[in-house]
Amino acid sequence: MASTQTNTDLSAAVAPAAGSVLISLTPLAQDAFDTTLANLALAFPGENVLVATPDLAPQLSAGGPLRLLPYTPTVISSSPWILTAADYLNTFKLAQENHASSCILLGAESQSLHPEAIRNLARGASSTDLTVARYELGPREGLVNSAILYPVTRALFAARPRYPLAIDLGLSLRMAERLAMTAQRYTASGQTDSFIWPVAEAATANYTMTEVEIGTRTLPQPAAADLNALLSQITGSLFADVDAKANFWQRARVSQSTPPLITLSSPAEAPPDIASMLDSFRLAYTNLQAIWSLVLPPNSLLGLKKLAITQPENFRMPDNLWARIVYDFLLAYRLRTINRGHLLGALTPLYLAWVASHLNLVSSGMAPEKHIQDLAAAFEADKPYLVSRWRWPDRFNP
């Protein structure tokens, strides 16, 4: 994703809004750019809309209501599939310079967004500090989010947006400024590809937030096919953010109620191919005992031992076991129990075991979303364990 480093003074007061919404786009090919502009015109008929795009993008024809704001990227992100620190910094800078009233950030593949979805993001941004997209994904998509990002965010920050690292967001000016100030700490040291967690930022600032249904959307995929590297990058960033905000989430909080599920069951699917996932888990169970035993308590190790000898068709990882595993890895990350790279790498086969279990449940007829909501509830129920171990790391050690 194209990004620009800047030394903008973020302590300066935001200029009075002139009423226009700023739409921040990523670099797009000619056809994708044309489709996105057409969708923006349909989303905002007859309205003045500012469209920020890299200056190498195709030029906008004159006479329309969309006003093009080209900018020159000085840093090209190596993570074009996700919003990074510099993107938030650029967006606030452009909004401040052009007196925009609110901001919409649209991630890569934005040409696949329906005009109504874009309009809904803008409506949210006009009255709420943070508006987060909720995507309609298949039962085998977005599983890192479902297994870790969503339940951890919901349990610790009492915030329920289903995709806390969404790539399509609506921001009030003060939310855009807060994200930019957080991002500036990274960009000042050259970490322009660092992730920012908008939901956690909004929660700690006591800002309002909501989510809007986006429906189907083409989601960009990371260039690297290495699951271990990708999972380490995402979970490492999440764990670091949780560590930085510990004073906030350790206080007791109650999250908003969950909207009722429309579907509580789903047709049984063909048995998933989980053999390679279970092979990875069982191999790790043999080879990673030394690492796991430094991170996980005896009860969790016993649960993994039982799973290691379970037949594939009966493979089920209890929700409370997975919640405890994630929390203990988070604690080990904070305490630097072992090298953080090795630690996060040791989480990958456990994640694959969770995925295998989830797919087995879905193939048996359980609605995917019901399982994810049950999982998040297990993370919420086990939060006191994390808080206790965070404050007294050795309390539960033999």
In the sheet that 102-106 helps form, which strands lie side by side, from edge to edge?
66-71, 49-54, 21-24, 102-106, 168-172, 130-135, 209-215
Q: Are residues 170 and 81 in the same domain?
A: yes
Q: Are residues 235 and 285 in the same domain?
A: no
Q: What is the pLDDT of residue 78?
A: 60
Q: Is residue 397 part of a domain?
A: no
Q: Is residue 200 part of a domain?
A: yes
Q: Is residue 32 part of a domain?
A: yes
Q: What is the pLDDT of residue 9?
A: 44
Q: Are residues 283 and 243 in the same domain?
A: no
Q: What is the CATH number of the domain that holds 51?
A: 3.90.550.10
**What does pTM read for this prediction?**
0.89
Amino acid at 225: A
Q: What is the pLDDT of residue 28?
A: 86
Cα 42 to Cα 299: distance, rounded to the nearest angstrom: 56
Q: Are residues 193 and 280 in the same domain?
A: no
Q: Are residues 309 and 242 in the same domain?
A: no
Residues of the chain short of pLDDT 50, as ranges, are 1-17, 62, 257-267, 398
Q: Is residue 255 part of a domain?
A: no
Q: Is residue 168 part of a domain?
A: yes
Q: Are residues 198 and 333 in the same domain?
A: no
Q: Is residue 73 part of a domain?
A: yes
Q: Is residue 131 part of a domain?
A: yes
Q: Which helix (H) or strand (E) holds 131?
A: strand 130-135
Q: What is the pLDDT of residue 4?
A: 39
DSSP 152-210: HHHHHH----S-TT-SEEEEEHHHHHHHHHHHHHHHTTT-TT----HHHHHHHTT--EE
Q: Is residue 304 part of a domain?
A: yes
- Per the structure, the complete domain to which residue 293 belongs is given by 275-391
Q: What is the pLDDT of residue 276?
A: 95
Q: Are residues 230 and 187 in the same domain?
A: yes
Is the Cα torsion angle 366, 367, 373, 375 positive or negative in sign?
Answer: positive
Q: What is the pLDDT of residue 224?
A: 65
Q: What is the pLDDT of residue 85?
A: 87
